[in-house]
């Protein structure tokens, strides 16, 4: 990645008030992290505006159509609800509220199953299939990546 692209990414971090951004392209991975100082807690530190990571193996090209779930496997009847964005996973609308989905409960099409907070915006994630919750592999208030499995449903109910 050339210096101009890195400078644009650093400006993007500052403009969007992000704490960090990571870009992967053609086996390269670059992460730009905002550093804080006592005088300027929200300014990029000029000495190290980014951290370059070692190259990773080539990533397959993305699918043409992005979906928040995978179709059920004919053998297992499992549907997987995946994170449609990067953020923080929450099982309930507030700390004292009951979770949207729990293992063993049936989830209906269109039902909210969790929230992902991204850039201080709460994004409700809805189920595109009907099924019984068999696993929730993400802990409450944990960060999630794009495409990470959030909930697995048994669609044979």
Q: How far is CA 138 from CA 64, 116, 125, in A?
A: 26, 11, 14
- Name residue 84's beta-bridge partners: none
Parse the chain into domains and list their residue ranges: 3-53, 69-154
pLDDT at 50: 43
Q: How confident is the model at residue 7 (pLDDT cuts 50, 70, 90)?
A: confident
Q: CB of 9 within 8 A of CB of 32?
A: yes
Q: How confident is the model at residue 61 (pLDDT cuts 50, 70, 90)?
A: low
Q: How confident is the model at residue 56 (pLDDT cuts 50, 70, 90)?
A: low
Residue 145 CB neighbours (<10 A)? 11
151 exposed, middle or buried (CB, 10 Å; 0-12, 13-18, 19+)? Answer: buried
Average pLDDT rounded to a whole number, residues 31-38 = 65
Q: Nearest-CA neighbor of 13 among 39, 37, 31?
A: 31
Give this prediction's pTM. 0.53
Residue 121 CB neighbours (<10 A)? 10
Average pLDDT rounded to a whole number, residues 55-79 = 56
How do residues 102-129 score in pLDDT, each as one tens digit?
999 999 999 999 999 998 899 999 999 9
How do residues 93-102 score in pLDDT, each as one tens digit?
999 999 999 9
pLDDT at 39: 53
Residue 26 in tokens: 């053609």
Average pLDDT rounded to a whole number, residues 51-68 = 53
Q: What is the CATH number of domain 69-154?
A: 2.40.50.100
Q: How confident is the model at residue 146 (pLDDT cuts 50, 70, 90)?
A: very high
């Amino acid at each position: 990645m050339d210096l101009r692209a890195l400078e644009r990414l650093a400006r993007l971090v500052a403009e969007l008030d992000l704490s960090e951004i990571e870009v992967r392209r053609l086996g390269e991975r670059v992460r730009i992290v905002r550093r804080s100082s006592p005088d300027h807690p929200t300014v990029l530190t000029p000495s190290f505006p980014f951290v370059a990571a070692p190259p990773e193996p080539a990533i397959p090209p993305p699918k043409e159509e992005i979906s928040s779930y995978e179709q059920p496997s004919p053998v297992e009847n499992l549907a997987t609800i995946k994170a449609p964005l990067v953020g923080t996973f929450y099982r309930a609308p507030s700390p004292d509220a009951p979770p949207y989905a729990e293992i063993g409960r049936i989830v209906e099409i269109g039902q909210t199953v969790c929230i992902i907070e991204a850039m201080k915006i709460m994004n409700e994630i809805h189920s595109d299939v009907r099924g019984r919750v068999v696993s929730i592999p993400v802990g409450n208030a944990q960060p999630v990546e794009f495409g990470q499995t959030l909930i697995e449903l048994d669609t044979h109910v």
